[in-house]
């Protein structure tokens, strides 16, 4: 790309290392790195703040018993609608205002377990389905939040039946999670994906499109 060869990025030298990234551990899940950037041969220096998260997994779940997708509706304080209302309201707001539709997902924070094992654990914890590791299909991996985090997430596909559900799911409230399991009928899935009034992640839209291209054509015709 034109211009990029002359652009420079270097590490803030005020930290612990002269030539290595200035890493400041803040908790067990992310690290802050402060960089100095000098772009387009300009003398001004920009400070950029990045957050490097652990790897994560997400799972597209399709219930073949009822021909529906299983997603989660989760409270996310970064939801712009919630933040706008919070700044304007003098009263406490219902948590429902700040929810986002997402795929079942979780960070890779369990040493010794494979990505597949962690993904199956998240499906059980959040959605209540017990899925064998051998039944997971790896779709792809991608970078998310590249403007701030650049963390890598691996996406899996899992087919479940009503008989595989052993609990209601819902995550771990003791860890501050507010999760509701939601079923999206297959016939309504693309309408749901493109409905901008329903806040959702890009992972939901992409995975629904992947399903339409790769799984839907193989389903038995009604």
Can you give the pTM of this predicted structure? 0.77
Q: Is the dihedral of CA 129, 130, 135, 141 positive or negative?
A: positive
For 17-67, the DSSP string reads -SSS--EEE-SSSEEEEEEEEE-TT-S--EEEEEEEEPPEEEEEEEETTTT
**Does residue 34 contact residue 47 with C-beta atoms inside 8 Å?**
yes
- pLDDT number for residue 169: 86
Chain centroid, CA 1 distance in Å = 30
**Does residue 115 contact residue 109 with C-beta atoms inside 8 Å?**
no
Mean pLDDT in order along the chain per 10 residues (222 residues): 41 36 48 56 51 83 98 74 56 64 92 96 96 97 75 95 93 69 97 94 97 95 74
d(C-alpha 112, C-alpha 125), whole Å = 19
- pLDDT number for residue 113: 96
- pLDDT number for residue 209: 98
């Amino acid at each position: 790309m034109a211009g990029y060869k002359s652009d420079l990025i270097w590490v803030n030298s005020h930290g612990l290392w002269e030539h290595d990234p200035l890493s400041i551990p803040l908790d067990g899940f992310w690290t802050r790195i402060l960089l100095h950037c000098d772009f387009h041969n300009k003398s001004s220096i920009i400070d950029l703040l990045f957050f490097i998260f652990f790897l994560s997994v997400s799972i597209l779940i399709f219930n073949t018993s009822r021909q529906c997708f299983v997603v989660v509706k989760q409270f996310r304080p970064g939801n712009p609608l919630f933040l706008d209302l919070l700044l304007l309201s003098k009263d406490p707001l219902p948590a429902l205002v700040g929810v986002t539709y997402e795929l079942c997902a979780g960070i890779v924070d369990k040493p010794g377990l494979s990505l597949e094992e962690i993904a199956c654990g998240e499906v059980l914890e959040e959605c209540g389905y017990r899925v064998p590791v051998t039944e997971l299909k790896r779709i792809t991996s991608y970078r998310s939040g590249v403007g701030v985090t650049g963390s890598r997430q691996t996406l899996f596909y899992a087919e479940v039946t009503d008989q595989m559900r052993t609990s209601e799911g819902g995550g771990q409230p003791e860890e501050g999670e507010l999760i509701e399991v939601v079923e999206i009928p297959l016939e309504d899935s693309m309408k749901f994906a493109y409905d901008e009034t329903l806040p959702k992640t890009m992972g939901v839209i992409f995975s629904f499109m992947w399903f339409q291209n790769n799984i839907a054509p193989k389903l038995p015709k009604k």
